[in-house]
Amino acid sequence: MESKIFAPLKMEISNVDLFYGKFQALKSVNMAVQQNIITALIGPSGCGKSTLLRALNRMNDLIPGVKITGKILLDQTDIYKSGMAVTELRTRVGMVFQRPNPFPLSIYDNVAYGLRVAGITGKKELNEIVEKSLVGAWLWDQVKDKLNRSALDLPLDQQQRLCVARLLTIQPEVILMDEPCSSLDPIATMKIEELMIELKKNYTIVIVTHNMQQASRVSDYTGYMLLGEMIEFNDTKTLFTRPSKQLTEDYISGKYG
Ligand SMILES: Nc1ncnc2c1ncn2[C@@H]1O[C@H](COP(=O)(O)OP(=O)(O)O)[C@@H](O)[C@H]1O
Ligand SMILES: [Mg+2]
């Protein structure tokens, strides 16, 4: 790996192969995720971006017939080791999905959901964490006067920020985002991008995007994937201005496909 390491490593992915049945979706993938840094994964549709992202909190475990080998470390611990507490892992490494997926509940109940599941029921404590999380997701001002209204009535970008708020309540360390802006218009996209840059002060972020401009605007490190391989992983500026591989050059200059 050519990349310069500046921040402490939060996650380390080494020689990861992943199979869906007989189909190999990840081929000896290596990647370093630095703490308080935004790492972007780019590449054409079907190249394995979502698969790699899901491997980082073992979401692929839920798909029958998946086999994974290699190593994925979170703070030096192998997350695939036997006895790993997967539910706890998913609270440390949380995910925001492509389409906002609020529950059909009120705004307040959406944000309080995970806390209640965790057994927190005190009104004062719930109120405090709900407010703090909504502030953190830049949504508090817009919703503070209508917390009992249905989350499904919010505009899409606010629904997506609500999903971020819901995640913040469980205080993850790493936030995985799979094309979080793909259903949003350009202005809403900008707000989410600004939010990501704010969030990286406290969280480590890995984002999948098919939008190269987005990767170059928000990320510090970028991985370019093709057909299950990590073709190039480098700091974002270098990858977009002086890529070391011809395949990367072809993709970022629009020559691919
Ligand atoms: N659940 C699954 N079962 C079988 N094949 C899958 C599954 N999910 C993804 N794939 C295949 O794995 C490859 C990578 O998919 P994916 O990670 O979704 O790519 P990307 O996110 O880059 O579009 C694709 O060929 C896709 O068809
Ligand atoms: Mg995908």
pLDDT tens digits for the chain (257 residues)? 445 556 789 999 999 999 999 999 999 999 999 999 999 999 999 999 999 999 999 999 989 999 999 999 999 999 999 999 999 999 999 999 888 999 999 999 999 999 998 899 999 999 999 999 999 999 999 999 999 999 999 999 999 999 999 999 989 999 999 999 988 889 889 989 999 999 999 999 999 998 999 999 999 999 999 999 999 999 999 999 999 999 999 999 987 65
Distance 64 CA to ligand 1 centre (A): 13
C-alpha to C-alpha distance for 204 and 123, rounded to whole angstroms: 30
- Return the beta strands (E) in 91-131 as ranges: 93-96
Give the Cβ contact number of residue 48 at 10 Å.
23
Domain locations in the chain as residue ranges: 9-100+174-252
What residue's CA is closest to ligand 1, atom 7?
20
- Which numbered ligand comes closest to the C-alpha of 18? 1
Pocket of ligand 1 from Cβ distances under 6 Å? 20, 23, 25, 43, 45-51, 63
* pTM as predicted: 0.93
Helix (H) / strand (E) element for 10: namely strand 9-20
> What residues have a C-beta under 5 A from ligand 2, the ion?
50
CA of 51 to the centre of ligand 1 (A): 6
Which ligand 1 atom sits nearest the alpha carbon of residue 47? 22
Q: How far apart are CA 171 and CA 173, in angstroms?
A: 7
Q: What is the CATH number of domain 9-100+174-252?
A: 3.40.50.300
Bridge partners for 94 per DSSP = 175
Please tell me the distance between residue 214's alpha carbon and the centre of ligand 1 in angstroms: 22
Q: Give which of 124, 98, 126 is closest to 113, Cα–Cα.
A: 126
